[in-house]
């Protein structure tokens, strides 16, 4: 799986970081870094929660 962010939608709320701290990091300025764009399957639950709870719908999973 691949994690993709739409930077036009992301507002740096950091919900994704709360749900999946190994995969997302949001700076004090509200800039999101994806720490692993191709996370292992065992993190899928975390990724799905981040996608579901992102308040702006900026995240999605693409299957490879
Ligand atoms: S939760 Fe959504 S809007 Fe907030 S930092 Fe993550 S991707 Fe961006």
36: domain CATH number is 3.30.70.20
What is the band of 64 on the pLDDT scale with cuts at 50, 70, 90? confident
Does ligand 1 have an atom closer than 6 angstroms to the CB of 10? yes
**How many folded domains does the chain comprise?**
1
Answer whether 42's CB lies under 8 Å from 48's CB. no
Q: Which domain holds residue 29?
A: 2-62
Q: Among 18, 26, 34, 52, name the best residue to mutate to test ligand 1's pocket (greatest count of ligand atoms within 8 A of Cβ).
A: 26
Q: Which helix (H) or strand (E) holds 50?
A: helix 44-53
What is the band of 23 on the pLDDT scale with cuts at 50, 70, 90? very high
For ligand 1, atom 3, which residue shows the shortest CA distance? 10
Q: How much is the pTM?
A: 0.94
> Regarding beta strands 59-62 and 2-5, do their DSSP bridges make them parallel or antiparallel, or are they unpaired?
antiparallel
């Amino acid at each position: 799986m691949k994690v993709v962010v739409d930077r036009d939608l992301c507002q740096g709320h950091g919900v994704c970081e709360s749900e999946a701290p190994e995969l997302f990091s949001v700076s004090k300025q509200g800039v999101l870094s994806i720490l692993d764009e191709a996370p292992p399957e065992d993190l899928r639950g975390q990724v799905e929660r981040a996608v579901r709870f992102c308040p702006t719908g900026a995240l999605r999973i693409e299957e490879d």
